[in-house]
Structure 1
């Protein structure tokens, strides 16, 4: 990397790139959390719908799949293997 490539070409000031401006807003954080919860709901539904053979092929025990699919949407996904 050359010395010149460290600077923005368009001439924007470094004040726009301060760490405080990179923090997500409360709205962005809420939207991200809702997306994460929706993904966990969908993943758990798919996990609950898998048959024993598919679970074995994926290396997941049926007990672990049943435990994980029974969790609430706000609980984080745990390890399945």
Structure 2
């Protein structure tokens, strides 16, 4: 038996001025920034053979490593 949502259900996105959503967005951004920092540290430690296996050039690595954590 397959479950489906009825067409009478409507989901409304909370407006961006909703103060209750602010902590959730803040935590989500902090987690994203931490993940970027962590993956860039790993990228910095990859040797040329692993970079080649991943299809990443030295120029691409350099460009990624020079980005600030919020981008």
Q: Shorter-chain TM-score category?
A: 0.7 to 0.9
- In terms of fraction of residues, the more helix-rich structure is 1
TM-score between both structures, scaled by the size of structure 2? 0.73
**TM-fit CA distance, 1:18:** 5.2
**TM-fit CA distance, 1:20:** 4.8
Question: What CA distance in whole angstroms lies between the structure 2 residues aligned with 1:45 and 1:58?
Answer: 16
Query: Structure 1 residue aligned with 2:42, among 46, 49, 58?
Result: 46
**Residue 19 (str. 1) matches residue 15 (str. 2):** no
Larger radius of gyration: 1
Question: What CA distance in whole angstroms lies between the structure 2 residues aligned with 1:39 and 1:18?
Answer: 29
5+ residue gaps, structure 2: none
5+ residue gaps, structure 1: 8-13, 76-81
Match of 1:29?
25
**TM-fit CA distance, 1:25:** 0.5
User: What is the number of equivalent residue pairs in this alignment?
Assistant: 65
